[in-house]
Amino acid sequence: MAHDQFPLAAVRKWVVMAFISGSVNAGGLMACDRFVTHVTGFVTLAGMETANRQFRLAMGMLSVPLYFVMGVMVAAVFTDAAILNGRKPHFRVVMIVASVLLASAGLLGHFGYFTPFESPFQLRADYPLLIMLSAASGLQNAVLTSASGGIVRATHLTGTTTDLGMGLVRAMSARHRPEIRSKELYRGAIRFATILGFISGGMIGGVLFHYVQYLGFLLPSALAIYVGNLGVTHVATPAPVAVPAFVPDPSDP
């Protein structure tokens, strides 16, 4: 294996994790009309509810990303902090916790602890569901970020697609620097694979949740256990591509 490449087995696990996130996002949207795997939508919803003078609902939406952050921080204790101190990261533990949260969301919803599936969102009834799904998403996103050295993310596509587009331009602009061109094309292939994983998870999850409703969360829960048991291996981060920083010239109008 070249020094700047990841093991193929590791990349497969990352694609499965992106699939998990896509399916969870579809399930959250179908269950209670809320995207759950990233924080941007909640901030927008908070603004919309504030404009409608629904201040209690706005504060509820604004607080949900805190649980995503808490999930990230818990995962970082077992992964990044361990790596930083020369210890073995415990990716499996984090994936098991994420699996338990997803399974709990599915079973509690199935037995009527939340609003009926595809019903309008109700803060009191559905807030625990948002907490569990957001925390699980934060846990998983931190695992993949740590394991891949920040090359890819699991729970949303914005950053990954931005990196993909910029990397492709770097590759096209480095025609006479084959080492950079090769590295950027390789990273682009990994990012594209994770994007397809997320999209596939959303599409398959959408069909699954349509038929089994809340029990659909058992699929990403099982896949999280599967990935955890395979072992999410921390691999050395490929050497960064040197891109000169642009410093504006004050004399340039």
Domains and CATH numbers, the chain: 8-149+201-230 (1.20.1250)
Residue carrying structure tokens 């399916």? 23
The pLDDT value recorded for residue 33 is 85
Residue ranges in the chain whose pLDDT is less than 50: 1-3, 236-253
Span 1-11, pLDDT tens digits:
444 578 888 88
For residue 165, the model assigns a pLDDT of 92
List, in order, residues 6 or more apart from 105 with CB less than 8 Å away: 129, 132, 133, 136, 214, 217
Residue 232 pLDDT: 60
* The predicted structure's pLDDT at residue 76: 93
Contacts of 193 (CB under 8 A, 6+ apart): 11, 14, 15
Residues 6+ apart with CB under 8 A from 236: 149
Residue 246: what pLDDT? 37
* pLDDT at residue number 247: 39
Residue 173's identity, in one-letter code, is S
- CA 172 to chain CA centroid, Å, is 28
Residue 4's pLDDT is what?
59
Q: Using the 8-state DSSP alphabet, how is residue 240 labeled?
A: P
What is residue 34's three-state secondary structure?
coil
State the CB neighbour count (10 A cutoff) for residue 149: 14
Q: Which two tokens stand for residue 36?
A: 């759950």
- The whole-angstrom separation of Cα 94 and Cα 225 is 10
Alpha helices in the chain (DSSP H): 8-32, 40-51, 55-78, 80-84, 91-110, 123-148, 158-173, 178-212, 218-230
